Amino acid sequence: MNFLLSDDQTEVQSAVRRYFDKALPSSRLHRCFDAEAGFDTELWRGFAQIGVTAIALPEDHGGLGLKLIDLALVAEAVGAAAAPVPFLGHALASLAIAWAGSEEQKSRWLPALAEGSVLATIAFADAGGWQPEQWSLASADRLLGSKRHVFAADVADLIVVGLAGGELAVIERNAAGLVVADEGGIDRTRRLFTLTLEGTPAERLPEGAVQSARLRDAALVLLAADAYGGAKRCLDLAVEYAKTRQQFGQVIGRFQALKHQLANMAVEIEPARGLYWFAAYAFDDVQDRAAHSAALAKAHLTDRALQLARDAVEAHGGIGYTWEYELHIWLKRAMLDYAWLGAPQEHRARAADLAGW
């Protein structure tokens, strides 16, 4: 019995951290954030080369056969770096095909997805709502309707789309009748798009209706992990700033008002890492607690992380409110983590139901 990462898990996470430390200096992060197009091909390629796109995919299709916890650790590191890589959508779409696809579909798509040479994304939300039980886009060979809040749909080669009844289907790039429109998302490290489908051909994933709820749970865990990583970074930035900024002839971190604010922030987020660890562990190994702990982790961590990002801005003072300083990038990521796939309140209601209360 232990509640620890293995050496391999620690190493994967460190590798991702090292990569972004080197490849994503503040200047490049700002450049990506401000750029017209949201996709940095070179950054994505280097990221995929670490092997992260293969992590949770089956070994017989080019994957590493690892678990959700391994993927979540990468999500934490991506969140900490505010990395403008379409990791979340790609990872979820790949899992959708791995879990719900036919053998033929898996052989056709997974090796390139594992490599990262083909980019995929996932379309959850539509007019019905975010959750598989709420999807309203009718299942058909040619789809008619729309999906919202889709990451990287402008550059994705494959889009896994959620359909009424919790079904899943795959749309290919440049499919007929597919219109992709930029939503003007606030988090410019993860641009959002609306898909308009005007008789767009789609290929059904046979096990979609069985797997989509589980896919949602995986997404909740990854969002929670991303939020935790981002929140920790906000805390680190605020602590670092408190140690260097001087006023009244001394560093401001000496003032108890700020010290206590920072301590309160730390207490809100630092112990909560175990919530996403456990949710990932439950997803992999304790089936009957998987759905509840995923909802709880997403609700708790994205809620705390967003408040923490706001607190961090306040702790910084004026510099934290500027566009040039990078804190707003994490604030906006926290806003996306909070809202994407349903706000905390929605998942708290689900968690209460799932707990049998």
Partner 1 sequence: MDLSYSTEYETFRGEVRAFLAEHWPPKGDEAALKKREQESRFRRRATEAGYLNRSIPKRYGGSEQAPDLLRAGIIREEFNRVRAPMEVAGLGMMMLVPTLLECGAEWQKEQFVARTVSGEIFWGQGYSEPNSGSDLASLRTRGELIDGANGPEWIINGQKIWSTFAQYAHYMFALVRTEPDAPTKHAGISYLLIDLKQPGITVRPLKQMTGGEEFCEVFFSDARTPAHWIVGARGEGWKVSKATLKHERSSVGGAAASRDLFLKLLELARRTPRNGKPAIADPLIRDRLVQLQGSVESHLYSSYRQLSMAGRGQDPGPVTLMNKLVSTNIGHDIARLARDIIGDDLMIAPQAEGAGGAGPEKWNNQFMGALGVAIAAGTSNIQRNVIAERGYGLPRDPATDKT
Nearer to partner 1, 172 or 284 (CB): 284
Residue 313 touching partner 1 (CB under 8 A): no
Alpha-carbon distances of 62 from 146, 170, 324, rounded to whole Å: 32, 20, 41
Query: For partner 1, which stretch binds (CB under 8 A), given 12-20, 154-162, 273-281, 317-325?
Result: 273-281
When binding is defined by CB under 8 A, the residue of 171, 290, 299, 339 that contacts partner 1 is 299
What the block records as the tokens of 277 is 């660890």
Residue 267 touching partner 1 (CB under 8 A): yes
Residue 256 touching partner 1 (CB under 8 A): yes
Select from 52, 141, 126, 144 the least CA-distant residue to 94: 52
What the block records as the tokens of 313 is 């801005």
Query: For partner 1, which stretch binds (CB under 8 A), given 15-23, 97-105, 135-143, 270-278?
Result: 270-278
Containing 159, the helix (H) or strand (E) segment is: strand 158-163
Residue 4 touching partner 1 (CB under 8 A): yes
Residue 283 touching partner 1 (CB under 8 A): no
Q: What would the DSSP string read from start to end of 277-338?
A: HHHHHHHHH-HHHHHHHHHHHHHHHHHHHHHHHHHHHHHH-GGGGSSSSTHHHHHHHHHHHH
Residue 285 touching partner 1 (CB under 8 A): yes
What the block records as the tokens of 252 is 């401001």
Residue 107 touching partner 1 (CB under 8 A): no
Query: For partner 1, which stretch binds (CB under 8 A), given 94-102, 209-217, 238-246, 330-338?
Result: 238-246
In whole angstroms, give the CA distance from residue 177 to residue 168. 18
143 close to 161: Cβ distance less than 8 angstroms? yes
- Name the residues that contact partner 1, by CB under 8 A: 1-6, 69, 239, 242-243, 250-251, 253-254, 256, 259-260, 262-264, 266-267, 270-275, 277-278, 281, 285-286, 293, 296, 299-300, 303, 345, 348-349, 351-352, 355, 357
